[in-house]
Amino acid sequence: MQDLIALAETLAERLKARGETVAVAESSSGGLVSAALLAVPGASAYCQGGSVVYTGRARWRLLDLPREAVVGFRSASEPYALLLARTAREQLQATWGLSETGAAGPTGNAYGDAAGHTCVAVSGPIEMARTLETGSPDRAGNMHAFAVAALELLIAVTQEHPA
């Protein structure tokens, strides 16, 4: 967890200095992204909140994304991750939305993605999504790797997009 907190500290410093905020929608990382962000003292200055949208019901109840809104989207895909990031950002009126959706393991998901597959995305002044394949069935290890990938993506995007 210490490496996640170190990444969150980098983000906290940058976002607070710029007066920017982030909202999170995560799935297979199980709340690790939000936990890292909130572990940094003063998190309320930059973290608007987040949700673990592990199921379709959670996505609908927590993000207000009904089944019709995701028609044509495949879970654990870059377009779906971007939709989650946009929705979190818009609903919590944050500068940035950050999302993660994947298959932690030990087996893959119903869409044919292997364990260790995830997509992370950022939505804000610019948008970006990435796919990560760990090649590992280690559920806890994958959850951690997914959270690292999400935080690193937001760090990269905010570095590329100066305030």
What pLDDT is stored for residue 110 in this prediction?
84
Domain count, the chain: 1
What pLDDT is stored for residue 10 in this prediction?
97
Ordered per-residue pLDDT tens for the chain, 163 residues: 999 999 999 999 999 999 999 999 999 999 999 999 999 999 999 999 999 999 888 988 999 887 788 788 888 999 999 999 999 999 999 999 999 999 999 999 988 899 999 999 999 999 999 999 999 999 999 999 999 999 999 999 999 887 6
Close Cβ partners of 116 (under 8 Å, ≥ 6 residues apart): 102, 103, 104, 105, 132, 133, 134, 135, 136, 137, 138, 142, 145
Which range of residues forms the domain containing residue 6?
2-160
CATH classification of the domain holding 97: 3.90.950.20
What pLDDT is stored for residue 163 in this prediction?
65
What pLDDT is stored for residue 75 in this prediction?
86
